Structure 1
Amino acid sequence: MASHSIRRRFRPAVLTLLASLAPLHAAWAVEPFTVRDIRVDGLQRIEPGTVFASLPVRVGDTFSDEKGASAIRALFALGLFKDVRLETQGDVLVVVVEERPSVAALEFVGLKEFDKDVLIKALKEVGLAEGRPYDKALADKAEQELKRQYIGRSLYAAQVVTTATPIDRNRVNLTFTITEGGPAKIAQIQIVGNKTFSESTLRDQFNLDTGGWMSWYTKADRYSRTKLNGDLESLRSYYLSRGFLEFRIDSTQVSMSPDKQEMAITINITEGERFVVSGVKLEGNYLDKEDEFKAQVKIVPGEAYNAETVAETTKAFTDYFGKFGFAFARVESVPQIDRANNRVELVLRADPSRRAYVRRIQITGNNRTRDEVIRREFRQLESAWYDGDKIKLSRDRVDRLGYFTEVNIENQEVPGALDQVDLLFTVVEKPTGSISLGAGFSSAEKFALSFGIQQENAFGSGNYLALQVNTSKFNRNYVLSTTDPYFTENGISRTVDLFHRTTRPYLGDLNAYSLVNSGVGLRFGVPVTETDRVFVGANIEQTDIREGTGLPSTYKNFVNNFGYKTNALPLTLGWARDGRDSALVPSRGSLQRLNADVSVAGDVRYYRANYQFQQYIPLSKKFTLAFNTDVGWGQGIGGRDYPLFKNFYVGGQGSVRGFQQSTVGPTSTTTGVYLGGSKKLVFNAEFMTPFPGAGTDKTLRLFTFMDAGRAYGEHEKVDFKEMRASAGVGLSWISPMGPLRFSYAIPVRSQTGDRIEKLQFQIGTSF
């Protein structure tokens, strides 16, 4: 067979054209022949097997023009080659390729707004990453993606220039030179068409604003289409919840200045008339339980139409249908409008559809947390009837784990099975560990080191692990704590504590007396209800009073009776109920805790109880009123004195602000050391509001407060006249390092000799 050479470049579009032009076909046609061998030329990085696997021709096959065109299309489809051509040398098929260069490295110049890894991830999603093939079209696509990322942060003037630098082995380094420019800020927000409410009132519903002195923190003056859509929904909700049933947003115009630094937003609205609900009527199939469904109605006849209560009612109906297994129930609210009298009757039409059972429960998003950690919180089981209450309870229990920022449930119909449904649990994990390292230097303590590590979801197992170390001369602590929340399959938790604490009064003398408390504790938590848990356990403790300067006479008397070292075996009993909507920034709900210790063996015998109650009352979307009560009581048993080292202390942050930490209570008459007391009463009240200029951001809040409290000695009566009280203002910030609280308090009830400390701060806890 004569040798033939095909030296034409075939691209898919060209191949299609050539295939359709029969007159030209003869110009490049190859007479069919049997392929004896196939050779690939031009490969540098790509394995020959990749080419052979894509070819539709094998040794021994008959080669034809159609198979040649198919081979070229298949190789181009790999996206690895700039050029592909086929040659024949006798009965040998030669595949000649020119590889596309690969990306060796991605670099960014001028990057300030973003972390490099964020942009690398974004480029990978559009197909550009280290090790992947490169071409100019992909670079253009990458530039557009980078600009899109900047537009998402209101940096409309950002410019991106791509430089491709060839290097060895047919690779390129890509450098993106970015000129970020300044953010486009909102210069004006105008609402047109409002008659009932002032423009300032309506703009208060927005998160976007024209800027203020806190804009550097909130970035509320940066335009974002997503934020604007959210604000428009807030505006719509504001009107619909106040009777304006036919309110509508006619148009929204967003204009940008020529330099892309300022934006103006104009919103045109039509308020419509205000309607009052004349009645509520039920239609459809309510499973012969109309009276039970009527009890779920939140809509009040005689009041203005409120879209929020209508939505609450339809959701309550849907949830109630779910309680009986009707996963696909539909409830529709149909308004029947009487425009002559501005009244509306709401018809709630229900179709329970069909009863279903749960075939499968799938979990997604838990990249770190093990499946079993989530599944053991489920109350809805697979292959059981669909139960809306149990599904909601399952979601709440998973959310209360504290491992996720979002927990969502979605019903998915099973194709071909009308009575089955799959549940999709989608979670978004958050960091559950924290590490702290601190050092300090003072003339009294010299160098002090503190270290702490805490992991609420250690290795994704759901177990809690914490280690605290403090080398301070006056408060030296070594604490190791671990909790297994499912020590048993029934949900009984087990906590093990190891501790060694040394405390010394701050008298400016390192030779002062000290208390050394060491021990080990074991505690079990027993779930009583879905929201209540009871704790039982025991500790083995040893306390050593080490003599030194400043030892109060009360401690000397205790040493005379019991010696310097005392042992105790306190049994612990506790109960907790947490109904707050958030542990970090609560705005509603309550928290109750009760803990009691009873020493039944050892040198000292006593009981000690502590009860705390917190209540959060939302006054509006922005304002919250909070109350806290903390009561402690301890007493010796069997005629024995109450051990002084178990005293309660009052004063400072988390207690009565404005007074130095642990100084509100009995003192030693000889040394002036603050002894604490066997009883304590603390009362706090706070009024919380977002920081001026921060909108509705709850991570940064101002609060005003009033505190009162005192510790009382064992033989001292609880006298409210002896209480100390203070009032002041404070700042709460959920910072990257944890919750921070700063307060400035002025004592309103104090006595001579009290240690006043007006400015204080704290990391952690609410009060």
Structure 2
Amino acid sequence: ISEVFVTGLEGHPDQERLQGLTYETIKLRAGQTTTRQALEADLTELYATGWFSDVRITPSDSPLGVRLEVAVVPNPVLEEVVIENEAVLLPASEIEKVFAPDYGNTLNLNQLDQRLKELQDWYNAQGYVLARVTGPIRISPAGLVSLVVQEGIINEVLIEFTNAEGDSVDPEGNPVKGKTRDWVISREVSSLSGSLFNRQLIEEDIRRLYQTGLYKDITMSVKPVIELPGSVDVILKIEESQTGSLSGGIAYSAAQGIYGQVQFGEENLFGKAWKADAKVSYGQYGSQFDISFIDPWIKGDPFRTSMRMNAYYSRNYPAIFRAGPHTKIKLIDNTDEPQSTAEISETSSSVMLSRTGGDISFSRPLNGGNPFQKAAWTLTTGINFQLIDVLDSDLDSKRYGAKEDAASIDQVLCVAYNCSSSNTLTGVRLGAAYNSLDSNTRPTQGDYVSLATSQYISVGENSPTYNKFSASYAHFIPVRLLNFTSGCNPKEGEKEDCPQTIVLSLSAGGALGELPPYDAFCLGGVNSVRGYESCGIGGGKYFSEATVEYRFPIWNILSGEVFFDAGTSLGSQSDVSGNPAGIRNIPESGYSPGIGVIVATPLGPLRLELATEEFDIEKYRFNFGVGFKF
């Protein structure tokens, strides 16, 4: 080799740097010998720098040996990057952000590959994991680079049912048939044919399907469509859960005392996700037969409106006439209005109410017509009908009641509206709820608001007209006061799991009009002022309650709580017809400190609580509850 010289860089803005880089890259020097393999190796090295679109080495004879001309075609100065496809998700601002450091400089193909990976990372971060950014398909002399994007289009969403072994065909080779209708599944899936494949949206779809409780196992796979490059079929393989149930047991509630119950339910009636339930219970303070039907999402409704219908027959002993250590109100045997204290003493049975009725209600989240959008507000409306009879233990109709130890005609009251043995209640209910909690199972921050009003309309002589209204507000404040669990003291690399919160809750309500005595506002019980039993305080036409509660983790599924409840009927006991709470000397107000433990279970949180009346340690009670108070 007598001489090595570079051509093709004349007039290029980066001529001096690229010329020096070319000389540094090639290994051939004047005075050396070379071979074809050595020349090809230098060509490869120059291409690998990424600065040139074409490189050629041409040998020619000279008197002193072989002259090597290295002819290069440098890449242009990068001025603009465009996407050839129309209507892609990738915003122009993201392209500008990624390529901003390179504009005005000579295009380097290696650097361009790195920038394409950054654009690919943007798609991946958004969940579009099948998207592919490729190119360049064209580089103009003026520095315009053209790219192509394939974003991964869903051709079709296919549903396959599987058996317990995970097979979608039976031993005879036939597809496994599912009970659930395809539209029940597909309406929960936001990823539709023609839309872009997004793993995050698919995972949300699968979570929504699990939340219906109808499916035991769900897996997702994709299959490329050979005839449509860039398109895939999404296959959902679903194993259904057993949705029918028959159960029975013994339990306790404030309304029924100790009771036994048999219940039959179906969660996927006719494969339409309809829920039907029938239960019979018989207990210490009453019995009940109840059938209900729920459509969790009316077919075709874009707002995810749900419907609930219920019919029931029950007999119970209302707490306002019997609860607590106070003297109970008993029915007077005579159905005529008592005229003397002698008639008052003729009491026998506790007050029993027979209720026959039904209701239908609708609930709609305010999601703007997007059924997949989480809505903070939910509205409900409904109508209900009840026929209420006042009965004694022999199921005979009665009208009047009095204290067991009544000594005056003034302590006689009408048990029902209009001193009748039977009332008819026909009402319309409106409600609204706001939920901004961070979790529905273990909330630590956010707010929950509930507003409700029920307007009862007279449909006859013994049918009252009145309105009941209530409002409640709970505010959750995240705190970090105790560190009992390992989740509160995570090691390096471990995720913290230490849910603690202070809850401030306030509720109030009242009634306007002809409120029947049995419909007064009772306070006390597992979801009220917890140191008192149900209707241990209150019993007025108005009420107000407040609670401060601190919840903290103890160990694994076990949490603790410390609370202070207070409630009052706001001096309204005497505003209730007959003043049953006042006759029984039920206190208007009360407060209750307490502690408890909470066990997280698949059925929800279970609470075991110990609370006292005010701070009297001799007046305490244990409560067992399912779910949080708020």
TM-score norm. by structure 2 comes to 0.55
Task: List per-residue Cα deviations over 1:547-592 (Å, max 9, x = no partner).
Answer: 4654697982575735232212201222345565665555566554
The answer as to 2:458 corresponding to 1:662 is: no
Query: For 1:555 and 1:284, how far apart are their aligned partners in 2?
Result: 89
The 5 Å alignment of 1:198-347 reads 287-290=91-94, 317-318=122-123, 321=126, 326=128, 328-329=130-131
Change (3 A) 1:407 1:725: farther
Query: For 1:402 and 1:387, how far apart are their aligned partners in 2?
Result: 24
Q: C-alpha displacement at 1:743, in angstroms?
A: 0.9
Match of 1:604 in 2: 464
Change (3 A) 1:540 1:315: farther
Query: For 2:528 and 2:623, how far apart are their aligned partners in 1?
Result: 12
The answer as to 2:564 corresponding to 1:706 is: yes
Match of 1:375 in 2: 186
Q: C-alpha displacement at 1:732, in angstroms?
A: 1.9
Matched-pair contact (CA < 8 Å) for 1:649–1:677: no
1:418 to 201, 223, 229: 229
Matched-pair contact (CA < 8 Å) for 2:244–2:267: yes
The 5 Å alignment of 1:42-61 reads none
The answer as to 2:497 corresponding to 1:633 is: no
Q: C-alpha displacement at 1:611, in angstroms?
A: 3.5
Matched-pair contact (CA < 8 Å) for 2:520–2:540: yes
Matched-pair contact (CA < 8 Å) for 2:401–2:412: no
Query: For 1:386 and 1:609, how far apart are their aligned partners in 2?
Result: 48
Query: For 1:571 and 1:664, how far apart are their aligned partners in 2?
Result: 28
Matched-pair contact (CA < 8 Å) for 1:635–1:714: no
The 5 Å alignment of 1:676-687 reads 677-687=541-551
Query: For 2:120 and 2:606, how far apart are their aligned partners in 1?
Result: 38
The aligned amino acid for 2:523 is V
* Ranges in structure 2 where 5+ consecutive residues have no aligned partner: 1-80, 84-89, 99-117, 134-146, 163-177, 331-347, 368-372, 392-397, 480-495, 576-586
Query: For 1:722 and 1:284, how far apart are their aligned partners in 2?
Result: 75
Matched-pair contact (CA < 8 Å) for 2:401–2:415: no
What secondary structure, in the 3-state scheme, does the structure 1 residue paired with 2:537 have? coil
Q: C-alpha displacement at 1:418, in angstroms?
A: 3.1
Match of 1:501 in 2: 314
Change (3 A) 1:406 1:512: same
What secondary structure, in the 3-state scheme, does the structure 2 residue paired with 1:289 have? helix
The aligned amino acid for 1:623 is P
What secondary structure, in the 3-state scheme, does the structure 1 residue paired with 2:183 have? helix
Task: List per-residue Cα deviations over 1:239-278 (Å, max 9, x = no partner).
Answer: xxxxxxxxxxxxxxxxxxxxxxxxxxxxxxxxxxxxxxxx
Q: C-alpha displacement at 1:483, in angstroms?
A: 0.8
Task: List per-residue Cα deviations over 1:616-639 (Å, max 9, x = no partner).
Answer: 566551233152636242322xxx
Change (3 A) 1:446 1:369: closer
Task: List per-residue Cα deviations over 1:80-104 (Å, max 9, x = no partner).
Answer: xxxxxxxxxxxxxxxxxxxxxxxxx
Q: C-alpha displacement at 1:481, in angstroms?
A: 1.2
1:512 to 350, 375, 378: 350
What secondary structure, in the 3-state scheme, does the structure 1 residue paired with 2:464 have? coil
Task: List per-residue Cα deviations over 1:199-253 (Å, max 9, x = no partner).
Answer: xxxxxxxxxxxxxxxxxxxxxxxxxxxxxxxxxxxxxxxxxxxxxxxxxxxxxxx
The aligned amino acid for 2:499 is F
Query: For 1:411 and 1:440, how far apart are their aligned partners in 2?
Result: 48
Q: C-alpha displacement at 1:690, in angstroms?
A: 3.5
2:150 to 331, 354, 358: 354
Task: List per-residue Cα deviations over 1:502-557 (Å, max 9, x = no partner).
Answer: 22235497711222222111112334314344222211122223446546979825
What secondary structure, in the 3-state scheme, does the structure 1 residue paired with 2:518 have? helix
Query: For 1:613 and 1:563, how far apart are their aligned partners in 2?
Result: 37
Query: For 1:330 and 1:716, how far apart are their aligned partners in 2?
Result: 75
What secondary structure, in the 3-state scheme, does the structure 2 residue paired with 1:543 have? strand
Task: List per-residue Cα deviations over 1:446-500 (Å, max 9, x = no partner).
Answer: 9953323444444643112222322225232222111122334214332111122
Moved more, 649-658 or 702-711: 702-711
Matched-pair contact (CA < 8 Å) for 1:680–1:710: yes
Change (3 A) 1:623 1:737: closer
Change (3 A) 1:732 1:528: same
Task: List per-residue Cα deviations over 1:673-722 (Å, max 9, x = no partner).
Answer: xx35443424242312043xxxxx33x333333333344464789xxx97
Matched-pair contact (CA < 8 Å) for 2:417–2:517: no
The answer as to 2:499 corresponding to 1:623 is: yes
Task: List per-residue Cα deviations over 1:290-334 (Å, max 9, x = no partner).
Answer: 39999xxxxxxxxxxxxxxxxxx9999547745xxx552489xxx
The aligned amino acid for 1:683 is T
Match of 2:430 in 1: 573
Query: For 1:314 and 1:596, how far apart are their aligned partners in 2?
Result: 54
Change (3 A) 1:352 1:524: farther
What secondary structure, in the 3-state scheme, does the structure 2 residue paired with 1:568 have? strand
Matched-pair contact (CA < 8 Å) for 1:406–1:429: yes
Change (3 A) 1:601 1:421: farther
The aligned amino acid for 1:487 is I
Task: List per-residue Cα deviations over 1:345-397 (Å, max 9, x = no partner).
Answer: xxxxxx99422321111345676644332212233322345567865664454
Query: For 1:446 and 1:588, how far apart are their aligned partners in 2?
Result: 35
Match of 2:57 in 1: none
Change (3 A) 1:612 1:447: closer
Change (3 A) 1:578 1:482: farther
What secondary structure, in the 3-state scheme, does the structure 2 residue paired with 1:658 have? coil
Q: C-alpha displacement at 1:416, in angstroms?
A: 5.5
The aligned amino acid for 1:496 is M
Query: For 1:755 and 1:455, how far apart are their aligned partners in 2?
Result: 46
Quick check: which has more Rg, 1 or 2?
A: 2
Query: For 1:316 and 1:493, how far apart are their aligned partners in 2?
Result: 40
What secondary structure, in the 3-state scheme, does the structure 1 residue paired with 2:184 have? helix
Matched-pair contact (CA < 8 Å) for 2:543–2:567: no
* Ranges in structure 1 where 5+ consecutive residues have no aligned partner: 1-282, 295-312, 332-350, 666-674, 692-696
Matched-pair contact (CA < 8 Å) for 2:511–2:541: no
Matched-pair contact (CA < 8 Å) for 2:188–2:209: yes
Query: For 1:433 and 1:682, how far apart are their aligned partners in 2?
Result: 40
Query: For 2:434 and 2:214, how far apart are their aligned partners in 1?
Result: 19
Matched-pair contact (CA < 8 Å) for 2:500–2:553: yes
Change (3 A) 1:362 1:684: farther
Query: For 2:278 and 2:129, how far apart are their aligned partners in 1?
Result: 46
Moved more, 379-388 or 531-540: 379-388
Query: For 1:533 and 1:426, how far apart are their aligned partners in 2?
Result: 32
Q: C-alpha displacement at 1:745, in angstroms?
A: 2.3
Moved more, 727-736 or 497-506: 727-736
1:649 to 522, 531, 545: 522
Query: For 1:731 and 1:559, how far apart are their aligned partners in 2?
Result: 40
The aligned amino acid for 2:507 is V
Matched-pair contact (CA < 8 Å) for 1:319–1:389: no
Task: List per-residue Cα deviations over 1:1-27 (Å, max 9, x = no partner).
Answer: xxxxxxxxxxxxxxxxxxxxxxxxxxx
Change (3 A) 1:601 1:392: farther
Match of 1:523 in 2: 361
Identical amino acids, percent of aligned pairs: 20
Query: For 1:711 and 1:430, how far apart are their aligned partners in 2?
Result: 47
Match of 2:621 in 1: 758
Change (3 A) 1:650 1:430: farther
The aligned amino acid for 2:150 is R
The Cα RMSD (Å) is 4.5
